[in-house]
Amino acid sequence: MAQITPDTVVAITGASSGIGEATARLLATHGASLVLGARRTDRLDSIAEDLRSADADVLTLTVDVSRREDLDQLVASAVDRFGRLDVLVSNAGISKIGPLAAGDVEGWSAMIDVNLRGVLYGIAAAMPVFQRQGRGHFVTTVSTAGLKITPDMGVYAGTKNAVRTVMEALRQESTDGAIRTTCISPGFVRTELDSSIADPELRARIRSNMDTFGLDPSAVARAIAFAIEQPHDVEIGEITIRPTVQN
């Protein structure tokens, strides 16, 4: 099995909390060099300080994935600092869920910008680097919401399934052995994703499910690490990870 080493350079979006933070912390214990991006740089800096105290090599940047230039800067900074980029973990996401009848056009647009365009901007930024290196790995956090369609999550699931479609197309376009793609579909995880839900009753219900039976983010981080550490001729295309009690 391939090993994650200090020569393995991983960039992570949405790294200031939840799955992104857990992935950064786990990969740091494996020795990876990290480039962490998020909007909340105060939290990023606190995480980076913890990791550096354990001898991890970490770079942090302010990244809003709805801005293409931020993804370009994330990738360029990885190459400038470490000389390469091996893995891009596109983890940033928001969940402005609610019934379609509510007509939350602004919320829908925000999810499209972050959940879909953010992934596309990452692909556009990292692909030239991966092609130049002859190797690279796109890992993207999707969701079980796209596998089991439920009320109130139609547009959210739509953005996640759009990403799943994009990643499958990218996989089929990349069968020369250089580029790997992985979609991670978590179910309920104890994260701050509910904070973007405007409806207080719906937010409370989702929060309750997260707190009652949601997975610790470290479980998803382990799945991401598993996909990354495979030999380069092995591609883990899809991982679905959910609580055993989730419907």
Q: Is 121 a catalytic residue?
A: no
In a domain, 172, yes or no: yes
Question: For the segment 118-137, what is each residue's pLDDT rounded down to a tens digit?
Answer: 999 999 999 999 999 999 99
Domain count for the chain: 1
Q: CA-to-CA distance for 29 and 226, rounded, in angstroms?
A: 14
User: What is the sign, positive or negative, of the torsion defined by CA atoms of 240, 223, 170, 106?
Assistant: positive
pTM: 0.94
- Spot the catalytic one: 82, 121, 156, 188: 156
**Structural tokens at position 187:** 């179910």
In a domain, 215, yes or no: yes
> What are the CA-CA distances from residue 246 to residues 4, 183, 189, 214 (Å)?
32, 20, 11, 9
In a domain, 1, yes or no: no
In a domain, 102, yes or no: yes
Question: For the segment 208-220, what is each residue's pLDDT rounded down to a tens digit?
Answer: 888 888 899 999 9
Whole domain around residue 208: which residue ranges?
A: 9-241
In a domain, 3, yes or no: no
Q: Give the mean pLDDT of 224-228.
A: 97
Buried b or exposed e, range 31-45, using 16+ CB within 10 angstroms? ebbbbbbbbebebbe
| DSSP output for 91-137 | ---------GGG--HHHHHHHIIIIIIHHHHHHHHHHHHHHHHT-EE
In a domain, 247, yes or no: no
In a domain, 131, yes or no: yes
Q: What was the pLDDT predicted at 231?
A: 94
The percent of residues in the chain predicted with pLDDT above 90, rounded, is 85
The pLDDT-based confidence of 1 (bands split at 50, 70, 90) is: very low
Place of tokens 């293409």: 68
Place of tokens 């055993």: 244
For residue 78, give the CATH number of its domain. 3.40.50.720
Q: CA-to-CA distance for 64 and 40, rounded, in angstroms?
A: 9
Place of tokens 């190797």: 135
Task: Give me the helix-helix angle, 118-133 and 68-82, nearest 10°.
Answer: 30
In a domain, 225, yes or no: yes
User: How remote is the C-alpha of 39 from its chain's centroid?
Assistant: 14
